[in-house]
Amino acid sequence: MLKIKDNVDLKELEKFGFKLNYDEEYEIRIEKNNVFTIIVIKHDNTVYIQSNSYVIKELDLLFDLIKAGLIEKVGN
């Protein structure tokens, strides 16, 4: 599972286009070629990805977050 590191100020996500949603979780919605992908950072800092397609086309943002040192892999 992917998780935002505990020592990261979640406001850092705003630099990548994330916004607080009505549940006060950070999310970003990406649309490309009629494929919609939503990435949500839950209250426990876990990363959830949802898409309306079997192929999620736009995950460059996740790579950017990993490269910036904001994400870690936890568990299996």
Tokens of 1: 């599972």
Instruction: For residue range 26-68, list pLDDT tens digits in order.
Output: 999 988 888 888 999 999 999 998 888 766 666 788 888 989 9
Model confidence, pTM: 0.82
Residue 55 is predicted with a pLDDT of 66
Output the CA–CA distances (angstroms, integers) from residue 28 to 8, 12, 43, 45, 61, in the order listed: 18, 13, 15, 14, 10
Q: Which two tokens stand for residue 73?
A: 């892999």
Q: What pLDDT, on the 0 to 100 scale, is given for residue 62?
A: 84
CA angle 71, 75, 76 (to 5 degrees): 110
**Token code pair at residue 36:** 């919609």
